Amino acid sequence: MTIILRAEPLTRDAFAPFGDVIEASGSDRFTINQGLAERFNDLARIDTASEQGQTNISIVRGAPQPLPVSLKLVERHPLGSQVFFPLQDRDWLIVVADAKDEPTPQSLRAFKARGRQGINFARNIWHHPLLAPAPFGEFLIIDRKGPGSNLEEHWFSEGERPILAE
Amino acid sequence: MTIILRAEPLTRDAFAPFGDVIEASGSDRFTINQGLAERFNDLARIDTASEQGQTNISIVRGAPQPLPVSLKLVERHPLGSQVFFPLQDRDWLIVVADAKDEPTPQSLRAFKARGRQGINFARNIWHHPLLAPAPFGEFLIIDRKGPGSNLEEHWFSEGERPILAE
């Protein structure tokens, strides 16, 4: 039986088991620059220093994947966290697995983020690769660079692939 | 005599003495996600680990400062680098001082960035606080959190304040 997945709204509480939601809201804010700016501070736990790792800044430009989309795989990064922050104000989708070791189609959850919401996947959280909005999406990525193997993939067999639908 | 400052275009070469330009261009790129995305990798030297520092992600929302603007001060961060990446596709302005120790009005340089260009101030580079575009600007900030004093300011006297003009 094919699993049909639908996205729930992205909130800090709902996403807490998987990492951080990065958005201009919440209580840890203060005024800076002689009153000319407001800073929403310390929005994510950046975890990139393991095994001589350093913080890496990149831009990813992704092709759109219109719904419904068949989810072929999830991946995780055993050595560090990974931020995706959208550079356009358009909704986008995030898929994670609520599973410690072996992800299953049943363990997937999907979130719909607004264009002003970024996320930080905690280390070792299984997630689908970027699902960019149409016509294309650019994201600022903050993750780890350094020695060691930082990517694991889990592919679903063709018969078990879940469908992410509207 | 009042110094009148005008912005030059932001390019990697021109900004190199002050840090990094973060943009989706340049040669260190590769295809990821089964061909669905392109990654412009390792765009800035993030320098946040000194003296038990960690990488800090914040959002700053700044009031606009229409030109001409009188530049009252510059600041620098002796313990870490600092990224500003715009979250709207509108030109914005950057002011730095080409001075090791004591910044002067004569040492200032201004750059006009496009809305898809972020920058990373290297540690200890004197710069003006954020000059946000109208009607307001939001920026993702990637800098250092941790023990120690990470802010120095240099205020210009009223008579010597440079003017940033169109």
Q: Which residues pair with A145 in a beta bridge?
A: A54
Side chain identity at residue B21, one-letter code: V
**Among the partner residues B59, B87, B138, nearest to A43 by beta-carbon distance:** B59
DSSP of B98-151, one letter per residue? Answer: --SSS--GGGEEEEEEPTT-EEEEPTT--BPPPBBPSS-EEEEEEEEESSS---
User: Mean pLDDT across chain B, nearest whole number?
Assistant: 95
Q: Closest by alpha carbon to A85, among A6, A149, A19, A150?
A: A19
Side chain identity at residue A112, one-letter code: K
Express each pLDDT in A138-166 by its tens digit: 999 999 999 999 999 999 999 999 999 99
* Per-residue pLDDT, B75: 97
Express each pLDDT in B27-53 by its tens digit: 688 998 888 999 999 999 999 999 999
| Separation of alpha carbons B100 and B124, rounded Å | 8
* Per-residue pLDDT, A144: 98
B23 touches chain A (CB under 8 A): yes
Pick from B71, B131, B140, B153 the residue to mutate for testing the A interface (most A CBs within 10 Å). Answer: B140
Was domain A4-165 assigned CATH 2.60.120.480?
yes
Express each pLDDT in B107-122 by its tens digit: 999 999 999 999 999 9
Q: pLDDT below 70 — which residues of chain B? A: 27
A34 touches chain B (CB under 8 A): yes
**Among the partner residues A42, A72, A141, nearest to B145 by beta-carbon distance:** A42
* Per-residue pLDDT, B74: 98
Q: Is A37 in contact with B130 (Cβ distance < 8 A)?
A: yes
| Burial class, A36, CB count within 10 angstroms (exposed 0-12 / middle 13-18 / buried 19+) | middle
Global pTM value:
0.95
Is residue B35 a contact partner of residue B69, using CB atoms and an 8 Å limit? no
| Separation of alpha carbons B59 and B153, rounded Å | 21
Each domain of chain B, given as residue ranges in start order, spans 4-165
Q: How far apart are the CA of B144 and the nearest CA of chain A, in angstroms?
A: 10
ipTM of the complex: 0.94
Q: Is B58 in contact with A43 (Cβ distance < 8 A)?
A: yes
Question: By CA distance, what is B75's nearest residue in A?
Answer: A33
* Per-residue pLDDT, A117: 97
Is residue B43 a contact partner of residue B127, using CB atoms and an 8 Å limit? no
* Per-residue pLDDT, A27: 67
* Per-residue pLDDT, B134: 87
Express each pLDDT in A1-58 by its tens digit: 899 999 999 999 999 999 999 999 876 889 988 889 999 999 999 999 999 999 999 9
Chains A & B: contacts with CB separation below 8 Å = 134
DSSP-derived secondary structure letter, A107: G
Is residue A51 a contact partner of residue A105, using CB atoms and an 8 Å limit? no
| Separation of alpha carbons A92 and A88, rounded Å | 10
Q: Is B43 in contact with A55 (Cβ distance < 8 A)?
A: no
**Among the partner residues B38, B85, B130, nearest to A33 by beta-carbon distance:** B130
Pick from A23, A30, A33 the residue to mutate for testing the B interface (most B CBs within 10 Å). Answer: A33
